[in-house]
Amino acid sequence: MVSRPNDWQKTVKTAGNAAETRPVTPKNAARQALFTEVLTAANTRQQAISVPTPQRGDWISFSKGPFGYWCLSVISDGRLRVEAYIDTYEKGLNKALFDELAADAAGWEAKTGLELLFERLDDKIASRIAAYKPIDLDHPAGREAARRWPVETLVAMHEKLNMPLRASATARLEKFSDSTPPTDAQI
């Protein structure tokens, strides 16, 4: 028997991680540099905000919890999004958790001092609570503004929403920790 490298296994392994194998474009490098700067600055103010390894896409996730995770992204229309992405992998739990927080949207906006968008995303498993701002990474002044706003926004959202999201998700998950998945009506 002769042992040799298995090209099929290598192909399957790298295909599963296509985002990591594609080349880094200057635009994505600028996005990831911005994300690293924002997360590093936010982490100095609030240590619970983690600073993950940069990725190759137009987003970065961090501070995963029982509710889902926090995320920074630059969306297709050029706006920067700071969000709590609600994804417990169970659509009914996600929507119930989201609905609980969305019921007091005005209260959360008052607590954070931000204009928040509560996006239920009915056609998807997950939902999000987000804030948006147009950015221009091509100009130095735009880049500086793009760095200040998300740091302030992320810290404010994280300080006020992180623990309630974690506590509510944990309570809901524990309530239905038996082997029978809950129905939407039970949640």
Domains and CATH numbers, the chain: 21-175 (3.30.1460)
Angle, vertex CA 86, rays to CA 80 and CA 88, nearest 5: 145
pLDDT (average), residues 126-147:
85
pLDDT (average), residues 107-136:
96
pTM of the model as a whole: 0.81
Q: What is the pLDDT of residues 23-75, one digit of tens each?
A: 778 888 888 999 999 999 999 999 999 999 988 889 999 999 999 999 999 99
